[in-house]
Structure 1
């Protein structure tokens, strides 16, 4: 009977946990509570960092990176600059965001410079506590060459909170509305904890009987 109780608890935990690490293209994939960084507090700050862009979030980038950019030409991917401030790289480079608390999911609305005759990719990577890459993906954003502020949400979710930082690398990378999961449990998490405690209490009661 005890084995059945623990098996049921294991199935409940598995049902609420993320299925696997993955590149995600929709912000709704960040299923826990999230925090948002929109860069509206900056106005054309050219910096390599480190700069705090929000409580517990530090920016670093390559030479020519800009916080609070308001205009970028992205070649065949159109232009950015009509909907407020964003973070931008210069030429080929990296924009990185590090978190004071480990997170299980992070992403942003992004785009990059594109040339019709030569496909260009953006590299999205997350790093662990030891500054080693724990997951990386290549993605080519394709938007209207006559469009404004078009892009793609790109993020990475993990089965556990082991992400210390995320980076976006490429040619003319632009990033806005950075989102990351926080440690605040959702109601279903409280329900799971209650279920687990109840099952453990049942096991203890049977042992005393």
Structure 2
């Protein structure tokens, strides 16, 4: 049993101390169908209160289009509520208690001056993406009706990374987004250790189980 406990402790330390890897993203050009699919299961849509366990700070919300302030993402309904971030402000969307492997969101009229920081444990910045990267292969020119500058973007943790949120800033008006969805929750290191210990205990018990002997009838 002592060996099992030691193995669990080592596994926990390895999980906690494993070196960080990278964050990647995939994008899908926007449309009404893509926008609708991005809302399915999203914890934060701005049409209603955020799901418990998730935090929204900064930014502002609106509907419709206002010159030099914000534009409704391409494919969304006219009465859709979305968040926008002006050049003088910022917004942060984060998980309060858990870490995740994937975060997706629908970006509207992407500009080169837009910036998204992908956050890890403790609010550390794992990777920063500019609008020019997120709108590729199109130019990030803020076009409000182009499928290539209105996109569903999904950030993915690779290796041992854990994602906890996104921070939005911009050098121009504006950065618009909607339908933020966190998927694939990551168990905490202590949880992994307990799981490993549990499997070890079960295996140990099975090995110690006495062989059943059946009496042969005469």
Answer whether TM exceeds 0.5 for this pair.
Answer: yes
What SS does the corresponding residue of 2:185 show, helix, strand or coil?
A: coil
RMSD, aligned α-carbons: 4.3
Q: 2:87 aligns with which of 83, 86, 91?
A: 91
Q: 1:108 aligns with which of 105, 109, 114?
A: 105
TM-score (norm 1): 0.55
- The structure that is strand-richer by fraction is 1
Runs of 4+ in 1 over 6 A off after TM superposition: none
- The structure that is helix-richer by fraction is 2
Report the alpha carbon displacement of residue 174 of structure 1 after superposing the two structures with TM: 0.6
* Contact 2:23 2:161 survives alignment (8 Å): no
- 5+ residue gaps, structure 1, are 1-18, 42-51, 115-119, 186-192
In structure 1, C-alpha distance between the alignment counterparts of 2:184 and 2:143, rounded to whole Å? 36
* Contact 1:125 1:168 survives alignment (8 Å): yes
| 1:51-62 matches, cutoff 5 A | 53-61=50-58
- 5+ residue gaps, structure 2, are 1-20, 35-39, 188-194, 208-218
TM-score (norm 2): 0.54
1:67 aligns with 2:61: yes
In structure 1, C-alpha distance between the alignment counterparts of 2:110 and 2:129, rounded to whole Å? 18
Q: Which has the larger radius of gyration?
A: 2
CA 1:113/1:107 → structure 2, altered by over 3 Å: closer, same or farther? closer
* Contact 1:74 1:113 survives alignment (8 Å): no
CA 1:86/1:148 → structure 2, altered by over 3 Å: closer, same or farther? farther
- The total of aligned residue pairs comes to 155
Report the alpha carbon displacement of residue 121 of structure 1 after superposing the two structures with TM: 3.2
In structure 1, C-alpha distance between the alignment counterparts of 2:130 and 2:186, rounded to whole Å? 30
